[in-house]
Amino acid sequence: MALNEFAANPPPTMPTNGLPAFSAQTRLLVVAPHPDDETIATGLLIQQVLAAGGEVRILLLTAGDNNPWPQRWLERRVWIGAADRQRWGRRRHSELLQALHCLGAPTPALQTLGWPDMGVTDMLLHATAEAVPALASAIQRFRPDLVALPALDDRHPDHGSAHVLVRLALAGQSDPPRLLAYLVHGHAHYNGFIEIHGSAAQTANKRNALAAHRSQMALSSKRLCRLTDMPERYLDLSAMPTASSSTLPWRPSRWLRPWLRLSVVSAAGAQSWRWRHAPLQRDSHDQDAYQLMVLAGTAAAPRFARLALDLPSVWIFDHWGWCAL
């Protein structure tokens, strides 16, 4: 093969632990709730698809502007107003473009939806009819065959809700793309990961991309560097069994129940109740477990449930989060 032919049509890369070989036909969509998720979770995957001649799109859900503690630290301020957040969002956008350059991804590979940072769950629960079609449209325009998305178990509310939104946006497709779920916050409750290891050059590029996210390195450099130096791990959702039970995985303490809110979403929309008003019944085989009764308009798969403490808190991460039904 002549050199120019090789450059135009690079050979497929070797399969990586169950993944198909990447080639010029590979179209990877990375769903990133915030700037830096694309580097931490998928920096090696992005490089390997691009090296094979494939195309990559980064779908950024929020600007990451509601990120007060690093902003307070770097800007030496306590009060952060709307204009300050907008400026911070522009800074993070600039950092993201630098990170993509380090990974070899061109600027047009980035598409932004402009949703509110720390507001993806609200988009899902209160604007389902707008959020799901917007995400479905973005996916359909790119036509990926591989989608990297946050894991359902991720304890950052924007991440878990992003997972649900992608699954709802893809519901009903006759030939859906392969879904690889990545975990940034929390611990996985399953096994069977696909691991991607990078070459020395790819790992160095990923470190440089992380360094470009200077605002995030200010207070979290050790944690982020540790994540970046690890192999990338993905859960292949196509290999997971389809959930068929309405039994909830949570057994909240009795004294918490007055402040709990249970939400259920499907392609038909979202419903939410205080725990004592939720359509629950005791599991016939386990009296400490609860089953969600089938609701009109929510019987179609996929369905997801979320349990949350309905009280103001400075703690941003989910304790219970989402489950698939």
Q: Is pLDDT at 166 greater than 50 in this prediction? A: yes
Q: What is the DSSP string of 5-17?
A: HHHHSPPPPPP-T
Distance between CA atoms of residues 162 and 124, nearest Å: 8
User: At 294, is the pLDDT very low, low, confident or very high (cuts 50, 70, 90)?
Assistant: low
Q: Is pLDDT at 24 greater than 80 in this prediction? A: yes
pLDDT in tens, 219-270: 888 888 887 888 999 999 987 766 667 889 999 999 999 999 999 999 889 9
Mean pLDDT of 211-223: 88
- Is-contact 27 144, C-beta < 8 A? yes
Mean pLDDT of 195-215: 95
Q: Among 35-44, 74-83, 225-234, name the one with the lowest average pLDDT.
A: 225-234
pLDDT value of residue 282: 87
Mean per-residue pLDDT over the chain, rounded: 89
Which domains are delineated in the chain?
23-239 (3.40.50.10320), 254-324 (no CATH)
Contacts of 244 (CB under 8 A, 6+ apart): none
Distance between CA atoms of residues 105 and 115, nearest Å: 23
Neighbours of 255 (CB within 10 A): 7
pLDDT in tens, 85-141: 999 999 999 999 999 999 999 999 999 999 999 999 999 999 999 999 999 999 999
Q: pTM for the whole thing?
A: 0.91
Mean pLDDT of 164-188: 92
pLDDT value of residue 230: 86
Distance between CA atoms of residues 73 and 81, nearest Å: 15
* Burial class of residue 282 in the structure, from the number of CB atoms within 10 Å of its CB (0-12 exposed, 13-18 middle, 19+ buried): exposed
| 129 or 4: which leads in pLDDT | 129
Please report, for residues 79, 240, 248, the alpha-carbon distance to residue 296 in angstroms, rounded to integers and kept in the order given. 46, 27, 18
| 285 or 198: which leads in pLDDT | 198
Distance between CA atoms of residues 228 and 115, nearest Å: 26
- Is-contact 322 306, C-beta < 8 A? yes
- Is-contact 304 264, C-beta < 8 A? yes
Please report, for residues 40, 169, 213, the alpha-carbon distance to residue 216 in angstroms, rounded to integers and kept in the order given. 11, 30, 6
- Is-contact 196 41, C-beta < 8 A? no
Peptide bond into 12 cis (omega under 30): no
Q: Is pLDDT at 18 greater than 90 in this prediction? A: no
R_g of the chain, CA atoms, integer Å: 20
Place of tokens 């609200």: 122
Distance between CA atoms of residues 72 and 78, nearest Å: 6
Task: Report the C-alpha dihedral over residues 85, 89, 92, 96, rounded to 10 degrees.
Answer: 170
